[in-house]
Structure 1
Amino acid sequence: MLKRIIKSVFSVFFLFLIWIYQNLISPILGKSCRFTPTCSHYGIEAIKKHGPFKGAWLTIKRIGRCHPWGGHGHDPVP
C-alpha cells in the first residue's frame, strides 16, 4: 500500500515537471527535439507505462541522446 502511494506521488511530481516544461519553458525555447514522439511526450508515456523511477531513467537517457550529433527519427518507449 505504502509503495503504491510513493509511486503515485513521484509519478504526479515527474508529470508535473514535464507539464511545467511543456507549458512554460518549451514555448520560450522553441522546438528542438530530434525524435518522435518528442522527449516530453516520451517522458509522459514512459512514466505511465513503467512507473516513476524506470520511466524517469528512460526519459533521462532519451534526453541525453537528443542533441545535434545524436540520433533522430521515431524512438518509441520500450
Structure 2
Amino acid sequence: MKHSSHCPDCAGSIQRLPRNAGRAMIWIYRHTLSPLVGYDCRHLPTCSAYGDEAIERFGLWGGGWMTLARLLRCQPWGTSGIDNVPRTRPAGACWYLPWRFGRWRGVNAP
C-alpha cells in the first residue's frame, strides 16, 4: 500500500484553521467571561451566537467583520431585536472591501 504525501482532507483542515480558531475564541468567551458578565443581550440571537454562525458561514475574515458590526451596534443607543446572520454574502462584499460584510445600521436590513 502506497502512502501519498498529499492528503485531500489535510488541505481542507488547513483552510478551515482560521475559521475554527475564531470559533474557538467565541467558545472560550462563552464559557469563561460571559457567565461572569451576565446574559444581557439587546439582540436575538446573542452576539456570541451571531459571531459563531457568521464565522462558520463566511469564514474568519467576512464573519469577523459581520461580528464587529454587530458588536458596535450592541450598545445603549444602538439597535435591538431579532438580527439574524444573512444567508448569502452581502452585495459587494469581498476580501479587499471587508466593511461591506457588516450591517452597520439597522436590524435585518441591507
TM-score, normalised via structure 1 length: 0.89
Please give the secondary structure, in 1, of the residue aligned with 2:32. helix
Post-superposition Cα deviations, 1:19-71, rounded to whole Å, max 9, x if no partner, equal 11100000000012200000000011101111111001100110010011101
Q: Say what the alpha-carbon RMSD is for the aligned residues.
A: 1.8
Give the number of equivalent residue pairs: 77
Structure 2, gaps ≥5 residues long: 1-7, 87-110
After the TM superposition, list the runs of 4 or more consecutive aligned residues in structure 1 that deviate by more than 6 angstroms. Answer: none
Q: TM-score, normalised by structure 2?
A: 0.64
RCO greater where, 1 or 2, for CA within 8 Å and sep 6 or more? 1
Aligned equivalent of 2:106: none
> Match of 2:35, as an amino acid?
P
Match of 1:30 among 28, 31, 38: 38
Bigger share in helix: 1
The reply on whether 1:64 has 2:72 as its aligned counterpart is yes
Q: Which runs of 5+ in 1 are unaligned?
A: none
